[in-house]
Amino acid sequence: MNDKGHLPEERRTFLKYLIGGGLIGFAGSVLYPLFAFLKPPKQADVEVTSASAGKLSEFEKGTGKIVRFGNKPLLVIRMPNGEVKAFSATCTHFDCTVQYKKDLEIIWCACHNGKYDLNGKNIAGPPPRPLDEYRVVMKGDEILISKKA
Amino acid sequence: MKNFWNKIYDWFNSRLDLQDVVGFIGKKYVPVHRHSVWYYFGGVSLFLFIIQVITGILLLFYYKGSSDLAFESIQFIMSKVEFGWLIRSIHSWAANLFILAAFIHMFSVYFSRAYRKPREITWLTGMLMFFLALAFGFSGYLLPWNELAFFATKVGTDIMTAIPFIGTPIMEFMRGGEDVTGATLSRLFGFHVALFPGIFTVLLAVHLILVQRQGMSVPIDMENIPADEKKTMPFFPNFLLRDLLLWLLVLNVLAILAVFFPAHLGEKADMFAPSPEGIKPEWYFLFMFQTLKYIPAQVLFIDGEILGILLFGAAGLLWTLVPFWDRRSAKGQSSRFVTYLGLFAVIFIIVFTIVGWLA
| Residues B231-277: tens digit of each pLDDT | 889 888 899 999 999 999 999 999 999 999 999 999 999 988 999 88
> Hey, which residues 282-301 in chain B have their CB within 8 Å of chain A?
293, 297
Mean pLDDT for chain A? 87
Whether the CB-CB separation of B153 and B285 falls below 8 Å is answered with: no
pLDDT of residue A4: 65
Q: What is the mean pLDDT of residues A21-33?
A: 95
pLDDT at A2: 61
Residue ranges in chain B assigned as alpha helix (H): 2-16, 18-26, 41-60, 70-79, 84-111, 120-142, 147-159, 167-175, 182-190, 196-214, 220-223, 240-260, 283-294, 304-320, 322-325, 327-330, 336-358
Q: How far is CA B256 from CA B41, B53, B95, B100, in A?
A: 20, 20, 15, 17
pLDDT for the residue B247: 97
**pLDDT (0 to 100) of residue A44:** 66
Q: Please name the residue of chain B whose CA is at the shortest distance from the CA of residue A44.
A: B177
Scanning A81-140 for CB atoms below 8 A from B yields 89, 91, 94-99, 109-112, 126, 128
CB within 8 Å: B272 and A68: yes
Angle between helices B2-16 and B18-26 (to 10 degrees): 100
B49 or B297, greater pLDDT: B49
pLDDT of residue B297: 72
Phi/psi region, residue B187 (left: phi>0; alpha: psi -120 to 50; beta: rest), is alpha
- Which residues of B fall within a CB distance of 8 Å from A68? 272
Between CA B74 and CA B144 the distance in angstroms is 6
Per-residue pLDDT band at A8 (split at 50, 70, 90): confident
Q: What single letter denotes the amino acid at residue B268?
A: K
The confidence band for B197, taking pLDDT boundaries of 50, 70 and 90, is: very high
pLDDT tens-digit series, residues B3-57: 999 999 999 999 999 888 888 888 888 999 888 999 999 999 999 999 999 999 9
Q: What is the pLDDT of residues B163-180, one digit of tens each?
A: 889 999 999 999 999 899
Total residues belonging to chain B: 359
> What is the DSSP secondary structure assignment for residue B264, as one 8-state letter?
P
pLDDT at A1 over 60: no
Look at strands B29-32 and A114-116 and give their pairing: unpaired
